[in-house]
Every structure is written in structure tokens, then in C-alpha cells.
Amino acid sequence: MTRSTSLPLALLCAAALSGATGFATAARADSVPPPSITVSGDATLSVVPDRAEIDGGVTTEAKTAREAADANNKAMAGVLAALKASGIADNDIQTSRLSLQPQSTANRNGNGPVQITGYRATNRVTLTLRDVTKVAGAIDALVGAGANEISGISFSVSQASKLLDDARARAIADARRKAEIYAKAANVTLGEPLSIAEEGAPGPVPMYARKMAADVAATPVAPGSETLRIAVSVSYAIKPQ
């Protein structure tokens, strides 16, 4: 007759717990990130804008809503015709605001109903100019055709991301330079990059010209230049020398 042997239940539980603890310890050891240095690198590029946007239009006032709307429609039709005649394509002219609002005044006694004195109609468009040398001509066309509102100009670079490719390489080189300085000061050896991340959205914030009056005869416009910037965050592995 064969006698079976078995370990006490307490000993089995202890063995199982020990194995689980060892596994958890190994898992925690595997999850510990390697030593590293994290730095930021950046590079800039000065570029002349090649695209501009102009916002302008017509505001008219009249005693009735119909009169204000009819006058505005007639004036805006002339503005749009002048813009197209100046060479601006239809798909580069976009309506940005269209409104018809009553104009009112408070009762002199302060306790009566508000009196409607007339109506104001507004029609504004945004022009996209793919040649910044045409900005002055477009403004003159707006004003000459009867536009009485021009809120400003914004300049931008159409191929900013492509132009920034060289700056991206220079930003990585800048990060490596900084990391080597830190590694030398800390008496460690710099290894390969563990992670690279581009910070934020690359490219410039559009540059806006100051607000202009619509009755200016000559329209000098200077697009200037824009500074494109790339910033990266890079983590490098390190080890003792």
C-alpha cells in the first residue's frame, strides 16, 4: 500500500505567497525607468510672409430694416465686383459677417419704452491674398468701391511646416548640446535618445497690422518678416563613466 505525502496547508500558502511576492518584485524592477537626462532644444527661422488676409466690408444705416438692407446689398455688390476686377478669385473671398440690427435710444425720462431710431446692416468679407504685393491694391479696391470698414490685416507663411524641417534638425542638435553639458557636469556618459517630442504647435502666430481707417487715400503696407520656432523635448539614456 502506497502512502501519499502532502505538505501542510500553511506551508503551501507561504510558498505561493513567496512566489507571488517574487514575481511582483521582478515586475516592479522591470517597470523602473532607466536613468536619463531630459532637455529641451529649439531653433528659429526668419521668413518673409507669402500670404495675407484682409477683413473688411460695408455698414449702412437707414430708418427701416428694408432700406438698410437694400442699401447695404447695393454697396456690397459694388465692392465684390471691384475685388473680382482687381484679380481676386471667387474662392478667396469669403463672407465673415452678415447682420441686420435695430438701433435704439433710451427714453429721456428713463421710465418709458426704448425707441427704435433706425437699423444698421453689415456685410463683411475676408480676402485671402496669396501674393502679399497685392495687399495695398486690394485695400484700395475695397475703399474705392465703398467699403467703410477695414478691421486689419494678418500675414502668415503658407509652407511653414516644410520650411521648419531644417529647424527641426537644428533643434535636436541644440538638445544634444545641452544634454552633453549636463552629462559632463554630472560625470555620466550620454547614451541614445529614449524619447523625442515636439512641443506645442510649430509655426508663427499671425502678425496683425494695426486697425486702419477706411478713408485713407494711400495704403502703405509692410509685411515685414515672421519668426518660425521649433521646440523639442528629448530624453537621453545615461550611465556612469
Q: Distance between CA 226 and CA 203 in Å, rounded?
A: 9
Domain boundary among 156, 186, 215: 156
Residue 6 belongs to some domain of the structure: no
Residue 218 lies in a domain: no
- Of 62-71, 111-120, 183-192, the poorest mean pLDDT is in 111-120
Same structural domain, 194 and 125: no
Instruction: Specify if 86 maps to a domain.
Output: yes
> Is the CA virtual torsion 108, 114, 119, 123 positive or negative?
positive
Convert the pLDDT of each residue in 7-39 to its tens digit.
454 444 444 445 544 444 444 545 777 899 999
Does pLDDT of 67 surpass 50?
yes
- In whole angstroms, what is the distance from residue 19 CA to residue 17 CA? 5
DSSP code at position 221 = -
151 and 60 housed in the same domain: yes
> How many C-beta atoms lie closer than 10 Å to residue 138's C-beta?
25
Mark whether 93 and 171 lie in a shared domain: no
Residue 211 domain flag = no
Q: Look at the chain and report how many structural domains it folds into.
A: 2
**pLDDT value at position 205?**
41
**In the prediction, which pLDDT does 72 show?**
95
Q: What is the pLDDT of residue 111?
A: 67
Residue 91 covered by a domain: yes
Query: Which residues on adjacent β-strands are paired with residue 156?
Result: 51
- Give yes or no: residues 135 and 182 share one domain: no
CATH number at residue 58: 3.30.70.2970
Residues 102 and 189 in one domain: no
CA-CA distances (angstroms) from residue 208 to 142, 175, 205, 211, 227?
18, 32, 9, 9, 14
Q: Do 119 and 182 sit in the same domain of this protein?
A: no
Mean pLDDT score, 209-221: 42
**Most confidently predicted of 41-55, 108-122, 202-216:** 41-55
Cα–Cα nearest to 51, from 136, 125, 134, 124: 134
**Is 194 found in the same domain as 126?**
no
Which pLDDT tens digit goes with each residue over 145-167? 999 998 878 888 888 888 889 89
CATH number of the structural domain spanning residue 194: 3.30.110.170
Instruction: Give the tens place of pLDDT for each residue, 76-131.
Output: 999 999 999 988 999 999 999 999 999 988 766 666 677 889 999 999 999 999 98
> Do residues 132 and 68 share a domain?
yes
Q: Which domain holds residue 240?
A: 34-47+159-205+225-241
What pLDDT band is residue 206 in, cutting at 50, 70 and 90? very low
Residue 139 lies inside a defined structural domain of this protein: yes
Q: Dump pLDDT digits (tens) for 121-149.
A: 999 999 999 988 888 889 998 999 999 99
- Check whether residue 148 and residue 176 sit in a common domain: no
Predicted local distance difference test score (pLDDT) of residue 107? 66
Residue 173 in this model has a pLDDT that exceeds 60? yes
Q: Is residue 201 part of a domain?
A: yes
Does residue 1 fall inside a structural domain? no
